[in-house]
Each structure stands twice: as C-alpha cells, then as structure tokens.
Amino acid sequence: MNEPIMNTQSQAQSYLDKAETYKKLGLKAQIQYELEQARKVDPYIVHEARYTTLLEESTAEAKKVEALKTPLRIGAGMLFVDALIGGFFIILILISGDTAGLSAGNFTAPIVDIIIGVNLWQVKEQWKRYTVWWALIGLVIFGGGALVTGDYFSLILQLGFSGSLILLLTGTPSRVRTIAATGIYLVAYIGLLCLFFALSFLGGFAGTG
C-alpha cells in the first residue's frame, strides 16, 4: 500500500536532483520546470528544505534577470546602432573610393558590436563585463587615436559612446544610471552625429549653390 507513495516521493526527489544539476549548468528555466514537476507529483514536497531552497534561489535569480533586462537591452540597442553607423560609414568610404583611411578596426568593430549586442539582448549577465571591456578598448584605441591626431570631434563621439556603455553596465545597473547613460548616448553620440551630417549636407548644398 505504501509502494505508490514511495514511488511518488522517489520521482519527486529525482526532479529535485535534476533541478540541482540544471542549477550548476545555469539553466534557469529548466530549474523552474523541474520544481513544478516535483510539486505536481508530490504536493507535500513544498515543505522540504531542499525544495524551498531551490525555489527561493530560482525566484531570486528570476527577479535579478528581470531587473537586468532593460539596461542590457538598452546596451544592445546602443551597440546595434553603432554597428549600423559603422557599416554606413564603410559603405560611404568605399563608394567614394578613398579607402586609405580604412583599417581592420573599421570592419571588425561592427561585427563585435553585433556579437555582444545579441548576447546582451538575450540577457546574459556575463556579457555585461565583456561590453565594458569592449567600451574601454574602443575608448583607448579609437579615442586615443583621435586625441593623437587632434580629431576632437571623433574623441567626443567615442567618449559619448564608450562612456554611456560603461556608465550603463558597470557594476549593478540602476534606474538613474540607465537614464543618465541613455541621455549621454543620445546627446553626445547620436546628437553629434546628426549635427555632423546636417552640417555636411548644408556645406555641400552651399557649395553647389
């Protein structure tokens, strides 16, 4: 008579074993699934310490991921736009035929932007660190190059782009920092680029006139 009960408890414990394995692998969605299966098989398992610990940790992790979703996806958007702008500039340079100013960095930067952006969009927390590193590398290489050549406009653009990503994703993102980083990106990067294109267009229009 007790055999069905024992089988049910054993099956529930096997679900908890799977949940612990998925926890080690970082598969958060599977942890929730296995806990739910364990509860369905044996409703009394919710009073077990192992179940409650796994559930509390899984719930806390889910809240953490939800809190990171907005800043990480904003960071992804910044990178996608930068990749689009970089690709656009490459096309313009290739069309003009003046390829002397192109370097390997001009081609690799948009690709790296897209790779990092895709992972940020998927809310992979570890890519937060890689994004900050990428922003610092860009600041040193492109910002440093602009400083050496006296191209202060490009320097400000790079400061706006890298600075906004570093502010957004360093440490634990917050609402205030997310708003501030977005503002810096829109003003010091996108805004200045729009100003550059507007002045270039007006200059070209005045030249033809």
Amino acid of residue 204: G
- Claim to verify: residue 150 and residue 190 sit in the same structural domain: yes
Task: Tell me, yes or no, whether 189 and 125 share the same domain.
Answer: yes
| Residue 201 counted as domain residue | yes
* Same domain, residue pair 42 and 72: no
Question: Which amino acid type is present at position 90?
Answer: I
Give how many domains the chain has, as a whole number.
2
Residue 164 inside a domain? The answer is yes
pLDDT given at position 5: 52
- pLDDT on residue 19: 84
Angle between helices 152-169 and 126-138 (to 10 degrees): 160
pLDDT at 1: 42
The pLDDT score that the predictor gives to residue 118 is 96
**Token representation of residue 204:** 């070209």
Domain-located, residue 57? no
Domain that residue 25 falls in: 3-47
Residue 58 lies in a domain: no
Going from the C-alpha of 199 to that of each of 132, 146, 160, 193, the distances in angstroms are: 32, 20, 19, 10
Q: Mean pLDDT, consecutive 10-residue segments, the chain of 209 residues?
A: 62 84 78 84 83 82 82 96 90 77 78 95 91 94 90 92 95 90 94 86 60
pTM: 0.74
Contact at 8 Å (CB) between 28 and 58? yes
State residue 166's pLDDT score: 95
